[in-house]
């Protein structure tokens, strides 16, 4: 369908009152007067300001691609585990395939540099638009019919366009109490104010959301009840939590009740690693066909959206590469049209080379090949997650409990305490004190991060320093010892002071370190923590 | 120098009061806490959220490049002209060279996909940063020492960042009375109001600028005196005018006096085709070495900037290709730092593949090769400009006059009237009326556009329709006949009504049509105009 089709997206719901002042002031497509004539046969246009493609210095571009089945589907076999380790030796020659795109198309509809490297539509190359639309239909299965997709230049640019389009200065933006600081850095300079919503083991709490909206006091808060919710539902950054479909339904229903737009930022959708199982209990998992694989994943908010109030942002950053700066919106056509106008006045259009590379990759691999790649990638991240949590379990004394939060949710919580030193002499009272948990976490079932909740109340300077200062003191000592974690305070959407109450946190990533690096880092963490708790 | 160095850029002038509310609210780099540890030897970082480069599906990328001397340096020889025509036949095999960038660098400092396709700095790849900085030093020669360059994702994104950084809602933006509508489309939704400045044959008039500032009446205008000037000094879009250095100095001095920031949008800098000389009078021009070539070009505002109040935007769109979405700022380090933060919260970073391709191109060609390419490109556009104006001179009866505008400026103005029809019978009175000029123009010495000023007062419906409605009526008839020009009203920064007084305009481009296409289009224009002036 045309992205220019406004407001009517087949749900009978008008959401145009959510558009910002800036977005309302933005004109319809500036080309509207010319479009009528553009497709006239034999037309000579001297209307544009395009350089001739003859002067593009690139005669052709070629990419050597990994094959879709570059990564194994099975974690458990010895061969697979040794393969994971071997990956980092770069010893094995990768299997590759290749593509070349020339300046002029060989057949109509082929990708060409003549068009890809020219000024082009903000909405992206037609080939890529088609691939993305079909992908959304098959994978995310939106709950209404007239949804639209629109290519964007990555979720950062995407969220910037969202902020410009549906938020006005002085308005509130509901976010999880710990959230991606990049999103806040986009919104806050425009005087968009964070409204933190409580979290549990599935991420954003529907109870806290309802309470916030139901009890909203405009004069006490100094702003109107917020009408936009930003959520990272899967492998949440930083907390690593994943919402199941029941939670999403609860949140969606509340958003219908209070007329809230849901911005679903979902970069980790395909990194759904599944539940962490301790090393000794691990069993092999079955290989799934494409449909069963999709059905096994927590669904998108799109699937339960029947009013067109979900703006989903997808990115190729985690499944292809971040340097592609490419992703897409799925949303109702009214928002898509406004995002397209916003893109015209910021990025102008996605980079042509990126579109050539990503479209060629997907055309070469096809849907089945890309699915195979995603399944393999999932297993890689699963192995990484398992390895990091295994390292923690080896370094620390671990206790498992079932966390009961909210009404229906439960998750396995791990509590880590220092292992007693191996010693000839009997354990002192001080040593025994170490057996108290110093941090706890829920092993993530998706994403890239383990979120440690610190319990440093027994630190000698705790009462004089305050919660967050102790977090930073420990963080600094770990950094001085050569290991960087992300300090928890970074992820607070509201200002954190040294003495702000509430436990400290570290976000630790398993996405890009070597297995040896993770092992070393957790060892250093243990050693520093042992010393730290004794220091006065 | 570090882009983080604020405010002190060695000129002794503090320009920080120009920063917008949004820009002031934007935080310093979010990485500041981590940077201290980043370069520690043996560091293990679990702080990031980076996918492993092992999972980037591109094993290598290859580009086939035209050689720098692909286009001849001489316009006048028969061989060169026939070459220009031959270009479009694609018969001749292009001479090319190639580069390949693999996933991992072979030598330290090499480009690699491992880093180019990863999350990276908003400021761009170090290799590209270096090339760009050196290029600015050699070519634009800024007038103070501590200037900075910053890669951006094209001048559209660049100007978007400028608007966010130095303009507040409700403020005025001084622009030429005819200007690039894309710039206005960026600014106007943020309630930035166009303040049109009069133009003459060199573009923006310094007299009109001084008058506007000197006579500014805040209460009558409903806004404070504007502090930002947007200007396309070379091959102005749409008017095709080019400012010489004396005009730039006048404008700069006024901006110093009234504390105005100059935003120099200069995409056509290297398309300085030189004065149009009618076909019969054309002589060969000498080949210039690199220094003489640069000296022959109208300089940038940077060259006369001694206070750091010029923000220059360069783009690779016209010299490499628009699909690259790549360019850069040159400005004082305070603005550069703020633009970098703005980019982090919008594009995130320039696309990695584009940076690989453009950096590889420039590393392959080197400075001398790129200069050779730019000289060849200039000749190509010169031939195109000459051809379009030649076509007009053949189709119409042309008169030359010297235009005297302002005090010191002069330029050759061409007035075009319809040629009498070849006829056996004597010319009627009506035919003689056609010899009155119907449009006039100054042949551009740079850029891509000829800007026609229409004189349609003799059209039978002129008085009933009004100026702009007659422009659109003629535009529509030309479009219906299969030729698209850009209607002049598009380029007005303020709303134009059907009866807004002042002559109509068409912008016609010589940048991308074939020679035959231009010939055909001007023929159609003549035929339509003849019929149009007789219609009632």
Inspect the interface and report whether the beta carbons of A60 and B57 lie closer than 8 Å. no
Is residue A463 scored above 90 in pLDDT? no
Predicted pLDDT of residue A5: 42
Residue of B nearest to A93 (CA): B59
Predicted pLDDT of residue A218: 97
Predicted pLDDT of residue A343: 93
Q: Long-range contacts for B8-12 (Cβ within 8 Å, ≥24 apart)?
A: B8/B146, B9/B144, B9/B146, B9/B147, B9/B148, B9/B308, B9/B332, B9/B333, B9/B334, B10/B144, B10/B145, B10/B146, B11/B144, B11/B146, B11/B306, B11/B307, B11/B308, B11/B332
Is residue A535 scored above 80 in pLDDT? no
User: A105 or A412: which carries more pLDDT confidence?
Assistant: A105
What are the pLDDT digits (tens) for B260-286? Answer: 999 999 999 999 999 999 999 998 888
Provide the residue ranges of all domains of chain B, joining segments of one domain with +. 16-28+64-381, 383-421+428-534
Check if the beta carbon of residue A112 is closer than 8 Å to that of residue A126: no
Strands A439-442 and A409-418, sheet pairing: antiparallel
| pLDDT (average), residues B405-428 | 70
Cβ neighbours of A100 (radius 10 Å)? 11
Measure the CA–CA gap between A509 and A503, rounded to whole angstroms.
20
Measure the CA–CA gap between A345 and B234, rounded to whole angstroms.
22
CB contacts, 8 Å: B348 with chain A: 154, 156-157, 325
Taking only Cα atoms into account, the Rg of chain A, rounded to an integer number of angstroms, comes to 25
Predicted pLDDT of residue A6: 42
Joined tokens for residue A379:
């297993």
| pLDDT (average), residues B35-62 | 91
Lowest mean pLDDT, pick from A76-80, A330-334, B232-236, B376-380: A76-80
Residue B436 binned pLDDT confidence (cut-offs 50, 70, 90):
confident
Strand, helix or coil for residue A217: coil
CA distances from B439 to A123, B178, B350, B457 (A): 38, 17, 44, 11
Check if the beta carbon of residue A238 is closer than 8 Å to that of residue A449: yes
Inspect the interface and report whether the beta carbons of B322 and A51 lie closer than 8 Å. yes
What are the pLDDT digits (tens) for A321-363? Answer: 999 999 999 999 999 999 999 999 999 999 999 999 999 999 9
| pLDDT (average), residues B317-329 | 97
Substitution target in A32, A35, A49 with the highest count of B β-carbons within 10 Å is A49
Residue B408 binned pLDDT confidence (cut-offs 50, 70, 90):
very low
Residue of A nearest to B491 (CA): A30
CB contacts, 8 Å: A117 with chain B: 321-324
Q: In this predicted complex, what is the ipTM?
A: 0.93
Measure the CA–CA gap between A354 and B104, rounded to whole angstroms.
19
Token pair 């076999």 in the structure block, residue: A77
Residue of A nearest to B119 (CA): A322
- Give me the CATH topology for the region B383-421+428-534: 3.90.1150
| pLDDT (average), residues A376-381 | 96
Predicted pLDDT of residue B4: 39
Strands B203-204 and B199-200, sheet pairing: antiparallel
DSSP assigned state of A103: S
Helices B126-139 & B352-395 angle (0-180, nearest 10) = 40
Q: Which residues are paired to A66 by β-bridges?
A: A96
CB contacts, 8 Å: B349 with chain A: 323, 325
By the 10 Å C-beta count (0-12 exposed, 13-18 middle, 19+ buried), A94 is classed as middle
Predicted pLDDT of residue B509: 98
Residue B195 binned pLDDT confidence (cut-offs 50, 70, 90):
very high
Is residue B191 scored above 70 in pLDDT? yes
Q: Which residues are paired to B200 by β-bridges?
A: B203
CB contacts, 8 Å: A509 with chain B: 46-50
Phi, psi of A404 (to 5 degrees): -110, 110
CB contacts, 8 Å: A339 with chain B: none
Predicted pLDDT of residue A113: 97
Is residue B36 scored above 50 in pLDDT? yes
When the pLDDT of each residue in chain B is averaged and rounded to a whole number, the result is: 90
Residue A2 binned pLDDT confidence (cut-offs 50, 70, 90):
very low
DSSP for A16-44 reads GGG--HHHHHSPSPTTHHHHHHHT-TT-E
The C-alpha angle with vertex A221 and arms to A218 and A227, in degrees rounded to 5, equals 65
Q: CATH class for domain A64-380?
A: alpha beta
Evaluate whether the domain defined by B16-28+64-381 bears CATH number 3.40.640.10.
yes
CB pairs under 8 A between A and B: 359
Residue of A nearest to B512 (CA): A52
Joined tokens for residue B500:
């807004």
Predicted pLDDT of residue B109: 87
The nearest CA of chain B is from the CA of A528 a distance in Å of 15
Beta-carbon-side half-sphere exposure of residue B238 (alpha carbons within 13 Å): 27
Joined tokens for residue B66:
């035209």
Predicted pLDDT of residue A465: 87
What are the pLDDT digits (tens) for A140-197? Answer: 999 999 999 999 999 999 999 999 999 999 999 999 999 999 999 999 999 999 999 9
By the 10 Å C-beta count (0-12 exposed, 13-18 middle, 19+ buried), A456 is classed as buried
Residue of B nearest to A482 (CA): B43
Strands B203-204 and B228-231, sheet pairing: unpaired
Predicted pLDDT of residue A39: 80
Residue A426 binned pLDDT confidence (cut-offs 50, 70, 90):
low
Is residue A408 scored above 50 in pLDDT? no
What are the pLDDT digits (tens) for A220-236? Answer: 999 999 999 999 999 99
Residue A488 binned pLDDT confidence (cut-offs 50, 70, 90):
very high
Measure the CA–CA gap between A221 and A174, rounded to whole angstroms.
13
Measure the CA–CA gap between B10 and B307, rounded to whole angstroms.
9
Inspect the interface and report whether the beta carbons of A45 and B350 lie closer than 8 Å. no
* B323 closest CB neighbour out of A118, A345, A509: A118
Measure the CA–CA gap between A115 and A221, rounded to whole angstroms.
51
């Amino acid at each position: 369908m045309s992205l220019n089709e406004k407001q009517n997206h087949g749900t009978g719901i008008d959401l145009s009152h959510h558009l910002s002042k800036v977005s309302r002031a933005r004109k319809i497509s500036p080309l509207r007067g010319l479009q009528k004539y553009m497709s006239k046969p034999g037309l000579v246009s001297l209307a544009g300001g395009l350089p001739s493609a003859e002067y593009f210095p690139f005669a052709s571009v070629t990419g050597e691609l990994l094959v879709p089945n570059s990564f194994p589907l099975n974690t458990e076999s010895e061969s697979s585990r040794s393969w994971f380790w071997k990956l980092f030796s770069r010893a094995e020659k990768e299997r590759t395939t290749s593509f070349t795109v020339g300046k002029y198309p060989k057949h109509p509809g082929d990708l060409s540099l003549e068009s890809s490297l020219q000024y082009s539509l903000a909405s992206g190359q037609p080939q890529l638009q088609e691939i993305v639309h079909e992908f959304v239909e098959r994978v995310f299965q939106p709950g209404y019919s007239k949804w639209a997709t629109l290519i964007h230049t990555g979720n950062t640019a995407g969220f910037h366009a969202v902020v410009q389009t549906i938020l006005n200065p002085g308005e509130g933006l509901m976010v999880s109490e710990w959230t991606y600081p990049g999103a806040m850095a986009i919104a806050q300079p425009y005087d968009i104010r964070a409204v933190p919503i409580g979290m549990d083991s599935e991420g954003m709490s529907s109870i806290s959301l309802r309470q916030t909206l139901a009890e909203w006091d405009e004069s006490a808060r100094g702003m109107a009840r917020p009408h936009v919710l930003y959520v990272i539902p899967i492998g949440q950054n930083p907390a690593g939590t994943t919402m199941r479909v029941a939670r999403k339904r609860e949140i969606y229903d509340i958003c219908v009740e209070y007329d809230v737009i849901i911005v679903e930022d979902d970069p980790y959708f395909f990194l759904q690693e599944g539940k962490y199982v301790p090393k000794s209990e691990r069993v092999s998992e079955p290989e799934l066909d494409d449909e069963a694989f999709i059905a096994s994943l927590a669904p998108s908010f799109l699937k339960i959206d029947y009013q067109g109030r979900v703006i989903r942002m997808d990115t190729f950053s985690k499944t292809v590469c971040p340097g592609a700066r490419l992703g897409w919106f799925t949303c109702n056509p009214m928002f898509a049209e406004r995002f397209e106008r916003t893109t015209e006045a910021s990025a102008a259009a996605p980079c042509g080379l990126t579109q050539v590379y990503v479209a060629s990759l997907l055309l070469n691999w096809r849907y089945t090949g890309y699915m195979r790649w995603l399944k393999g990638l999932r297993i890689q991240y699963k192995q990484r997650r398992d390895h990091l949590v295994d390292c923690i379990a080896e370094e620390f004394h671990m206790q498992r409990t079932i966390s009961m939060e909210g009404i229906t949710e439960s998750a396995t919580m791990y509590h880590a305490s220092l292992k007693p030193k191996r010693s000839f002499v009997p354990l002192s009272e001080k040593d025994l004190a170490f057996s108290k948990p110093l941090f706890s976490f829920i092993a993530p079932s998706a994403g890239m991060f383990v979120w440690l909740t610190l319990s440093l109340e027994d630190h000698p300077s705790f009462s004089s320093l305050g919660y967050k200062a102790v977090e930073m003191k420990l963080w600094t000592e770990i950094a001085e010892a050569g290991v960087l974690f992300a300090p928890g305070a970074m992820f607070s959407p509201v200002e954190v002071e040294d003495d702000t109450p509430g436990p400290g946190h570290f976000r630790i990533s398993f996405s890009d370190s070597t297995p040896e690096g993770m092992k070393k880092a957790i060892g250093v963490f243990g050693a520093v923590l042992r010393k730290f708790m004794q220091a006065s």
